Structure 1
Amino acid sequence: MATIANFLLSKPPSSSPLPTLPAPLFFRHTTSSSPRRAKPKQPLFARPGRPRGLTLRATSATQKSSPPASDERVQKVHSAEEFDEALRAAKDRLVVVEYVDSRSASTSRMLPFMVQLSRQCNDVEFLLVMGDESEATRELCRREKVNKAPHFTFYKSMERIHDEEGIGPDQLVGDVLYYGDNHSAVKQLHSREDVEKLIEGHKADDKLIVLDVGLKNCGPCVKVYPTVIKLSKQMSETVVFARMNGDENESCMQFLKDMDVIEVPTFLFIRAGEIRGRYVGSGKGELIGEILRYQGVRVTY
């Protein structure tokens, strides 16, 4: 987990009870037992680790795959002017830029996979910059401070939100899902008011709300998110999944402070307007176990 250094004065013991929470609108703290807490593994804003086991339906990191018939969904960019225009045209959609080098062996391995990914993610724009193609592309790389290939940058609304270097297909899939998820069953929350509105809307139906709280540059948050997407589809009748990036804006960061979130990812379990508990960590099996436990299923570890 990544540690939010701003809030952490002393590390809580792994078996300590849940901290006392404030009582804003719709939130009432209950005294259920605290689930096990995973130990933090990564400082805030450190380079994300490489997750394991993420697979894309068309291929995987351990399978050889032939490139698709065409790469028309990957836009080749030959200058800074074309690059800037492509970012403007994408508006608020996620843009994934891969910088490659014609002499790089990693380029030949990753490029076919990115082409496949582009054909499956129609709401994401993919750009390709051949860094050693010309002086114009070399200048673009210098401007964007890209020194190695392959290098991936992620943009939204022309804002550079994330960088990756030396990653494999699984990590790329996780990043695209995490930063470009607009249409899954996971509700995207952008303020405290969004959280309160969601909770009020489900006070009557008694559905469990699982709120995934993370940060933009958080490797463990990216690692566990494909599992969150899968669970949101499998448990849609009984569980509502939502997520918030605490560093998206001041309202989100204040929400993390109010909820005493000191490590990410943190999953808050809410039912009938009450916070019933939380799980801190990115373990897929443990997350599933905690969700089942808060649904009343007896779980042993």
Structure 2
Amino acid sequence: MAAITNFLSKPPLSLSNTPKLSPPCLHSSFLVPFVTKEVKPLAAKLGTGRTHFMTKATAAPGTKKPVNDEKVQKIHSVEEFDEALKTAKNKLVVVEYAASHSYHSSQIYPFMVELSRTCNDVDFLLVMADESGKTRELCKREKIEKVPHFSFYKSLEKIHEEKGITQDKLMGDVLYYGDNHSAVVQLHLREDVEKLIDDHKADHKLIVLDVGLKHCGPCVKVYPTVIKLSRQMSDTVVFARMNGDENDSCMQFLKDMDVVEVPTFLFIRDGKICGRYVGSGKGELIGEILRYQGVRVTY
């Protein structure tokens, strides 16, 4: 969990506050298996003038057909890179910096290709660092020293980067920073929260509000689970998300709700907070949601 410091001691508005609940003995696994995390130095290779190119993803052992990576744009120069970011506008852009000699670049790339097929609201780019002098120049400008390296951009601004990454972490980052395709309601102002609550007073649906911060590791970690649950429980539960550091209105809402650690999940029904869960445990979160739906959970 990540702590939020210097919060006001102001009590919540008309919504009641409850302490952190004990985690239930319920577990779930949604993410793909881990791959070994390792990064390779580029310094020894970028100046060699090697001409090996990765035009297609390297297939995993036992794979019969090559990976079709047509949705991943290959970048060969600074000019192409800048134009790709400009063309994307406010869409999330995920850039992988790889190298032909890097085993781990070849292992993570097919997974990025799979994401490119399902995440139509995200642009995926590939830069082969040792392809040419132009790509080495781009890596130097972007201060890329090891591969695989992933950078995330929105509106021409770099918002996140990972120097070494696993499949589940990459998937979590893409979902967290490029979420325009899930059933999770995105809240950007305090007024958005109030409207959401008013909209669901009549149907008495449980609202699960995921409160976090933009660059909070545990918030990113649990978010794929939130997306999965939002699709599976859409008939009975409304899932929403707010990043407290998005603007002053969001941060004030966190203070008013006495949120001091993230991620915090607020459970709201009929305009009142009926409970909260602080943490990123997938099983514990599922158990708390079920409990507030009236399902008996054994502790």
- TM-score, normalization by structure 1: 0.83
Q: How far off is 1:28 after superposition?
A: 2.7
Q: Which runs of 5+ in 1 are unaligned?
A: 9-18, 39-51
**2:3 aligned partner:** 3
1:234-245 map, 5 Å: 234-245=232-243
**1:225 aligned partner:** 223
1:25-44 map, 5 Å: 27-29=14-16, 34-36=20-22
1:5-154 map, 5 Å: 5-7=5-7, 21-23=11-13, 27-29=14-16, 34-36=20-22, 54-55=30-31, 60-61=33-34, 66=63, 68-154=66-152
CA distance in structure 2 between the aligned counterparts of 1:53 and 1:292, rounded to whole angstroms:
16
**2:267 aligned partner:** 269
Residue aligned with 2:280, SS: coil
CA distance in structure 2 between the aligned counterparts of 1:37 and 1:21, rounded to whole angstroms:
25
Q: Does 1:213 align with 2:189?
A: no
Closer/same/farther in 2, CA of residues 37 and 257 from structure 1, 3 Å limit: farther
CA distance in structure 1 between the aligned counterparts of 2:117 and 2:294, rounded to whole angstroms:
41
Q: How far off is 1:139 after superposition?
A: 2.0
CA distance in structure 1 between the aligned counterparts of 2:61 and 2:16, rounded to whole angstroms:
51
Identity %: 70
Q: How far off is 1:207 after superposition?
A: 0.7
CA distance in structure 1 between the aligned counterparts of 2:258 and 2:87, rounded to whole angstroms:
39
Residue aligned with 1:28, SS: coil
Closer/same/farther in 2, CA of residues 121 and 150 from structure 1, 3 Å limit: same
Closer/same/farther in 2, CA of residues 54 and 161 from structure 1, 3 Å limit: farther
Residue aligned with 1:21, SS: coil
**1:45 aligned partner:** none
CA distance in structure 2 between the aligned counterparts of 1:192 and 1:7, rounded to whole angstroms:
17
**1:250 aligned partner:** 248
CA distance in structure 2 between the aligned counterparts of 1:257 and 1:194, rounded to whole angstroms:
16
Q: How far off is 1:134 after superposition?
A: 2.1
Q: How far off is 1:37 after superposition?
A: 7.5
Residue aligned with 2:147, SS: coil
Closer/same/farther in 2, CA of residues 65 and 181 from structure 1, 3 Å limit: farther
Residue aligned with 2:183, SS: coil
Letter in 1 for 2:194: E
How many residues align? The count is 271
Q: How far off is 1:135 after superposition?
A: 2.3
CA distance in structure 2 between the aligned counterparts of 1:265 and 1:285, rounded to whole angstroms:
15
When the two chains are superposed, the root-mean-square deviation of aligned CA atoms in Å is 2.4
Is the Cα contact below 8 Å between 1:221 and 1:282 reproduced in 2?
yes
